[in-house]
Amino acid sequence: MSATVVGPGAVITGNAEASLDWVSTLAPRVGYAFNNWLVYGKVGGAWGHASGTASGAINGVQVGSISVSETVSGWMLGIGAEYALSDNWTAKIEYNMMDFGDSGPFADDKFNVLKVGINYRFGGAGWRF
């Protein structure tokens, strides 16, 4: 995001950038398998890292800048369903909600993630999930 203000004899510009660099979760799945389906829930931990910079200039001369970088932790809940296409292939859909509390650099401390995927399990035939 950039902004420019023109005043009497001065041009003031500003620039700000923010990014969510990564999000990670660790949670066991607990569910019920029937026919070719696995329906499950998850609860566990969540971690995220965000960074941002802001700077300003007057008449093209930089007068200041600031950078922020922080990793925060929280918790996550999830639900999902997985379908066994064959002995080694499954397809899944999963919803996860992550909550990082009220501290940290995130503008919104809760994230909602919908995942859709195809999985391949290495190894011979056996349990599908």
Q: pTM of the entire structure?
A: 0.71
Closest by CA to 98, choosing from 57, 44, 34, is 44
The domain limits of the chain are 2-120
Q: Give the C-alpha separation, 22 to 116, whole Å.
A: 19
Check whether 28 has a pLDDT greater than 60: yes
Q: What is the pLDDT of residues 32-81, one digit of tens each?
A: 999 999 999 999 999 989 898 988 888 878 888 889 898 889 999 999 99
